[in-house]
Amino acid sequence: MKHAVISCLHANLAAVKAVLNDIDQKGISDITCLGDLVGYGPQPNEVVDLVRELDIACCQGCWDEDIIEGLNACECSYPSQLAEKRGHLAHQWTAEQLTDINKDFLASLPTSIRRDRILFVHGSPNSQHEYLLPDMNAFAALERVEKAGADTLFCGHTHQPYVRDLKNGSIRVRLQNTSNHNAEEKEINLPMRKIVNAGSVGEPRHGSTNATYVIHDDVTGQVEIKEVVYDIGLTCQAIIDAGLPRIFAWRLSHGFEFAEQAEDASHVCER
Amino acid sequence: MIERWALVSGLKGDLETYELIQRDLKKARGVTALFVLGDMIGPERNCDALLNRLQNPRRDELQPQCIYGWWEEQLLAEQGLRGEQKADALRLNQGEEVVSALLNAVDTYHLKWLSSLQFGFIELDCGLIHGSSADIGDNLTSETSPLILIDRLTRLDVNRLFTAHSTKQFHLELTGGGLDSQVKDLNGESQHKQKVSKQSIIGIGAGASYTIYDVGSDKTHFLTAVGQCNTPSKGFA
Amino acid sequence: MGQKWLISGSPGCGKTTWILNTIKRNQGACGYLRLTEQANNGQKKSPESLIDSTFLKDQVPHLQDLSDCPDISISKHKDLLIFVELSQSHSPEKLEAVGINPYVKSQLESLKLQPDRHLHFGRDSELPNNDTLVFKDLASWSLNLARSVWDPQSLNTFWFELVNGAYGDVYRAKGLMNLPDGQSIFFNWIVSQKGSQFLPLKTVSPPNGRPERPSGLVIQGQGLDCINIQSTINLCLLNDALLEMHQMPLRDRQPEALRAS
């Protein structure tokens, strides 16, 4: 059966509606969302209302967590002072806008969703803040999937959709310790695993302004990356009408994220 | 020039053992640095004498370079020096009595010094740390999955990682292997083979069991400091 | 025998660069002076003059900056090759009749500087023809950034947004920006050329508080969103505590130590 995975909606209602419409047209009713329903974008309540209304299974993203628990992201997750100050501004605005019901909903979201050997998370199984980029050290990437006890790991957070297959792996080691005078050698064969990044619906960063999501066929294991055109002008106008910084509209309409991505993308905050 | 490092951990207030190790190091050739990778304190005994000595080394002994370990983290948390955290891990695993014993084992005078200690050192291409950069209580042993070991090396971006928390002595070298990675995105597909780099994880032991690392030859020597009448025994050379 | 050359042209045509290259080739002593087309409200130096003269002085330390000379003394520099740079934001209709406006004329007269040569970009073939854009009704915005220090990554983002049109149609942007490590970087961008020029000055301040040297930013274009330019810059500049955080590790470089995040 096919199911759709969406992520990083970022309070961009026009993009969310366009993607949901695209999924509906393909006759897919099973949708999983990897979090970051809000943050930067102008329609946080509208987006959360819609997700609740459609009863979409969701994990919590870093923005969803921060809105509930107060600004929790450490400074190190922002690449610059400018990005941090803009992030704080967006945070404050979103926290003021969100209704209590929607805050409670975001607070109730789990950090991961498991379906047999498939795990859905926002960032990585380690943290909602960790970026799993497509060029991350392959062994470290495989370690994340193994740690999760999964065959396939769905994640978001980077806003760049990709499918990464990790296979034919092995590691040879030589061990010396106090009880063996001759070094002991062994080879470990590694399992085959897959990481799927669902990209971003509301804040794309893959070189185009289109919203992205993925469709997974759990019988064949095939994953398709989908791009959806939406009315970006509508969202940009809503940003300006809401009194959010105009630069957010400019960045969105040029296919840049509202704030730049962390330079050290593999950085995990040890809070 | 021969350059060798001595690596010590888990003394838990045992000044006598520290003195035995210092005595051994005086006899050993070429030891230029002494790293103490945390757990200088523990709940079993009063630790003040050892802490005094580490902060005020004798002129004729190797000057210790210390980082904090799991036990220091618990003490600093309980004393309110780690934000809102308390010694929850210790309380959960060993109970309230042990938390009290730890508080009693260290004079508050030492808190300033303990809280000034670093999380780890990077020397040459070596990371020296109590557990790992993933967690101060990361229990890395020779049995740990090599995937996890590679992850810990990658996080610190080093070729050798010296770790102490497991208290075990081992030298595990990654000697070969690889992993195929195929990435598909909106621009197309790409293939890449990640090779295993020649890297090592070294468990340095704890207490009287310590390690000497020969920087030039990349050899590890596992040693145990023993009482006055005996000569130090070599575990592996 | 000294010579006085007046070099004029529209913003971004390459006057300063040409003067710099000519000075570097010239064996003898050189002087530099920058004139504006309009009175400057009593300000001694506009940010643009500060940027240009500081940059030139850094590249050619023996260059004599004549802008602070008392009026009468300039004419006494008899052995100098003096370059007078004149930026003309309103290009004359006819290039043959490049006129010098009465204000500039009166400045030259009061300084007793009668140019021996007048070279104009776009007219004189010995000057490179870098820029054929004719700017009309250019808005200009400038900011003195003395003692301001940028968060480096924020500066990258701001500059990227600025030259890509996030704050209006920018045709020209030029700045001297202080970084926490003591470097000052010359930023130079014009719409007709590919990419920005980033040149670190040779003179570096110690990473010890706020540098005293000149720093500023000049932007020319149309429909400039000056309020948002200013407010974004405010978000990019380091306060004292953060500046100290950047500079402290540079001052006491010790063996690399890891800190838990």
Are A41 and A98 in contact by the 8 Å Cβ rule? The answer is no
Contact list in C for residue A81 (CB cut-off 8 A) is 151, 153-154, 235-236, 238, 242
Question: Which residues numbered 19-58 in A keep a CB inside 8 Å of some CB on B?
Answer: none
**Rounded Cα–Cα distance for residues A219 and A196 (Å):** 16
Name residue C144's beta-bridge partners. Answer: C216
Going across the sheet that includes A223-228, the strands are A57-58, A31-33, A2-6, A211-217, A223-228
Beta-carbon separation of B142 and A167 below 8 A: no
The answer to whether the CB atoms of A167 and B182 lie below 8 A apart is yes
Backbone angles phi, psi at B129, to 5 degrees: -155, 155
> Chains meeting B at 3+ CB pairs closer than 8 A?
A, C
Q: A137, B178: Cβ pair inside 8 Å? A: no
Class (C level, CATH) for B4-224: alpha beta
Q: What is the pLDDT of residues B173-208, one digit of tens each?
A: 999 999 999 999 999 999 999 999 999 999 999 999
Please answer yes or no on whether A83 and C154 come within 8 Å at the CB atom: yes
Listed by number, the residues of chain B in 13-42 with a beta carbon closer than 8 Å to a beta carbon of chain C are none
Q: CA-to-CA distance for B40 and C189, rounded, in angstroms? A: 57
pLDDT at C92: 53
Residue B133 in contact with partner chain C when CB distance is under 8 A: yes
Torsion of CA C41, C45, C51, C52, to 10 degrees: 110
> Is ipTM over 0.85?
yes
Instruction: Collapse the DSSP code of C258 into the 3-class scheme (helix H, G, I; strand E, B; otherwise coil) and give the result.
Output: strand
Per-residue model confidence (pLDDT) at position C127: 84
Cα three-residue angle C232-C234-C239, rounded to 5 degrees:
140
Q: What class does CATH assign to A2-261?
A: alpha beta
Distance CA B208, CA B10 (A): 9
* Separation of alpha carbons A209 and B140, rounded Å: 45
Give the residue from B73, B155, B174, B156 showing the smallest Cα distance to A124: B155
Q: What is the pLDDT at residue C95?
A: 47
- What is the reported pLDDT for A66? 86
**How is residue A172 written in tokens?**
């040879």
For A195, half-sphere exposure in the C-beta direction (CA atoms, 13 angstrom radius) is 37
Closest CA to C51 of C32, C24, C31, C69: C32
Residue C184 has pLDDT above 50, yes or no: yes
CB-based contact, C260 to chain B, within 8 Å: yes
User: What is the dihedral angle through the alpha carbons of C67, C72, C75, C79, rounded to the nearest 10 degrees?
Assistant: -70
List, for residues C19-50, the tens digit of each pLDDT value: 998 988 887 888 888 887 776 555 567 788 88
pLDDT (mean) for B5-19: 97
> Any residues with CB less than 8 A from the CB of A203 and at least 6 apart, and which?
A8, A10, A12, A40, A41, A159, A252, A257, A258
A172, with CB counted inside 10 A (0-12, 13-18, 19+), is: middle
Mark residue B21 as left, alpha or beta (left: phi above 0; alpha: psi -120 to 50; beta: remaining).
alpha
Tokens of A261: 């991505």
Nearest to C179 by CA among C251, C254, C238, C248: C238
Q: Residue C121 and residue C98: Cα distance in Å, rounded?
A: 10
- Which residues sit opposite A164 in a β-bridge? A195, B183
B127 touches chain C (CB under 8 A): yes
CB-based contact A173 B145, cutoff 8 Å:
no
| CA separation, residue A257 to residues A46, A136, A176, A206, C120 (Å) | 21, 20, 49, 10, 44
* Six token digits for residue C70: 């008392």
Choice between C257 and A264, residue whose per-residue pLDDT is larger: C257
pLDDT at site A77: 65
Note whether A82 contacts C154, CB cutoff 8 Å: yes
Long-range contacts of B157-160 (CB under 8 A, 24+ apart): B158/B122, B158/B125, B158/B126, B158/B127, B158/B199, B159/B125, B159/B126, B159/B197, B159/B198, B159/B199, B159/B200, B160/B125, B160/B126, B160/B127, B160/B199, B160/B200, B160/B201, B160/B202, B160/B218
- Option in A79, A83, A247 nearest C166 (CB): A247
* Rounded (5°) CA angle A106-A112-A117: 150
What is the Cα–Cα distance from A132 to A111, expressed in whole angstroms?
16
Mutation for B interface: A142, A153, A176, most B CBs within 10 A? A176
Could you read off the pLDDT of B77-94 as tens digits, one per residue? 999 998 888 999 999 999
Instruction: List strand residue ranges (DSSP E) for A38-161, in order.
Output: 57-58, 112-115, 118-121, 152-155
pLDDT one-digit tens code per residue, B96-152: 999 999 999 999 999 999 999 999 999 989 999 999 988 999 999 999 999 999 999
pTM of the model: 0.82
Strand partners, A228: A211
A163 with B148: Cβ contact below 8 A: no
Residues with Cβ within 8 Å of residue C205, at least 6 apart in sequence? C178, C182, C184, C211, C212, C213
- CA A155, CA A112: separation in Å to the nearest integer? 10
Residue C237 DSSP symbol:
B
Domain boundaries in chain B?
4-224
10-residue averages of pLDDT along chain A (271 residues): 96 98 97 96 98 97 85 62 92 95 96 96 92 94 94 95 97 88 89 97 90 95 96 97 94 78 40 31
Cα C159 to Cα C191: distance, rounded to the nearest angstrom: 13
Q: Is B232 helix (H, G, I), strand (E, B) or coil?
A: coil
Give the closest residue to C40 by CA, choosing from C142, C115, C114.
C142
pLDDT digits (tens, 9 = 90+) for A152-201: 999 999 999 999 999 999 999 999 988 777 789 999 999 999 999 999 99
CA distance A26 to chain C (A): 38
Angle between helices C226-236 and A246-253 (to 10 degrees): 90
In this predicted model, what pLDDT tens digit does every residue of C53-73 receive, in sequence order? Answer: 899 989 988 888 887 766 656
DSSP conformation class of C150: B
Residue ranges covered by each domain of chain A:
2-261
Which candidate from A81, A247, A270 shows the least CB-CB separation from C261?
A: A270
Q: Which residue is closest to A210 within chain B, CA to CA?
A: B186
Distance CA A214, CA A253 (A): 22
pLDDT tens-digit readout, C82-127: 898 887 765 555 544 456 778 888 888 888 788 888 888 878 888 8
Share above pLDDT 70 across residues of chain C, in percent, rounded to a whole number: 82
